[in-house]
């Protein structure tokens, strides 16, 4: 069985992440979405538990996807899942430099774990969790950027103001 790991902070999961998960699920037998525990971001918008719950909810229509948190090195998590493949999305050239370095380091450090890149669907090339967080600082939602359940959670937590779509 082919298993791929899709790692990230997912703070919060976006429609771009979700598209990538769906596409990976069409290629691999099993996709493990790995949510990083020790995020370096100082003030995450959502706790780890919330991020995992929101991801599970957003992925519930995709049968061959599971969502788990992980701590420590990504390559150790990948091996623990019985996989040797990581998948990451590439939105633009801007992403490439950092992603290439991560992929190289992970391959060297693990003696062979490969990273595959999927180009982000152009509809989502400007979508990012960091932009969602930046707008949230000003209580502004970006309904086009996040799945419905995330938007709902943001409104319910009082992070953003209610939007027309919510009424
Ligand atoms: O969504 P993000 O924040 O861009 O994801 C970054 C992530 C989780 C892929 C990366 O930070 C990571 O793999 N962290 C785990 C620690 C690790 O393995 N570091 C070594 C690579 S330098």
Computed over its alpha carbons, how large is the radius of gyration of the chain? Answer: 16
pLDDT at 111: 87
Quickly state the pLDDT bin for 42 (edges 50, 70, 90). low
pLDDT at 157: 93
Measured in angstroms, how far is the CA atom of residue 158 from the centroid of ligand 1? 29
Residues 53-62, mean pLDDT to the nearest whole number: 97
User: Whole-prediction pTM value?
Assistant: 0.95
Measured in angstroms, how far is the CA atom of residue 19 from the centroid of ligand 1? 20
Max CA distance (Å), the chain: 52
The predicted-structure confidence for 7-30, as pLDDT tens digits, reads as follows: 999 999 999 999 999 999 999 999
What ligand 1 atom has the least distance to the C-alpha of 129? 1
DSSP code string of 85-132? EEEEEE-SHHHHHHHHHHHHHHHHHHTS-EEEEEEPPGGGTT--HHHH
Q: Which residues are identified as catalytic?
A: 17, 41, 91, 129
Name the burial class of residue 108, with classes exposed (0-12), middle (13-18) and buried (19+) by CB atoms within 10 angstroms of its CB.
exposed
Q: Which residues contact residue 71 at a Cβ distance below 8 angstroms, ignoring those fewer than 6 apart? A: 36, 37, 38
Of 47, 110, 107, the residue nearest 80 (C-alpha): 110
């Amino acid at each position: 069985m082919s298993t791929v790991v899709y790692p990230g902070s997912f703070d919060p999961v976006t429609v771009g992440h979700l598209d990538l998960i769906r596409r990976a699920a069409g290629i691999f037998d099993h996709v493990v979405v790995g949510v990083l525990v020790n995020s370096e971001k100082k003030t995450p918008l959502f706790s780890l538990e919330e991020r995992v719950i929101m991801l599970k909810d957003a992925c519930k229509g995709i049968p061959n996807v599971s969502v788990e948190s992980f701590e420590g090195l990504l390559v150790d998590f990948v091996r623990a899942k019985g996989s040797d493949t990581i998948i990451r999305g590439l939105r633009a050239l801007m992403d490439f430099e950092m992603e290439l370095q991560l992929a190289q380091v992970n391959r060297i450090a693990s003696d062979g774990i490969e990273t595959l890149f999927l180009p982000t669907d152009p509809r989502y090339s400007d979508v990012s969790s960091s932009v969602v967080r930046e707008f949230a600082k000003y209580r502004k939602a970006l309904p086009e950027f996040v799945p419905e359940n995330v938007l709902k959670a943001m409104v319910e937590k009082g992070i953003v103001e209610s939007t027309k779509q919510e009424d």
